[in-house]
């Protein structure tokens, strides 16, 4: 994708733009970890709020 954008920009006669690389795998893993932490916190909150009543 970066090379295609760079090619289009250079063919159009604009100044070159240097785009930083994007680590999609790292972004995915980070969001997955955040979702797991949020799910863990949510389950802890629901466990603490349960009230056990005697029968």
Q: pLDDT, tens digit, for every residue of 13-32?
A: 998 877 788 899 999 999 99
Higher pLDDT, 17 or 55: 17
The pLDDT assigned to 43 comes to: 72
Q: Which of the four pLDDT bands, split at 50, 70 and 90, describes residue 3? A: confident
Mean pLDDT of 27-46: 86
pTM for the structure as a whole: 0.47
Secondary structure (DSSP) of the chain: -HHHHHHHHHHHTPPP--PPP--HHHHHHHHHHHHHHHHHHHHHHHHHT--PPP-
Q: Which residues of 38-54 are buried (b: 16+ CB within 10 A; e: fewer)?
A: eeeeeeeeeeeeeeeee
């Amino acid at each position: 994708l970066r090379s295609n954008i760079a090619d289009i920009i250079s063919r159009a006669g604009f100044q070159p733009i240097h785009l930083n690389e994007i680590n999609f795998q790292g972004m995915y893993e980070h969001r997955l970890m955040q979702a797991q932490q949020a799910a863990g916190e949510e389950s802890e909150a629901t466990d603490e709020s349960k009230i056990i009543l005697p029968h």
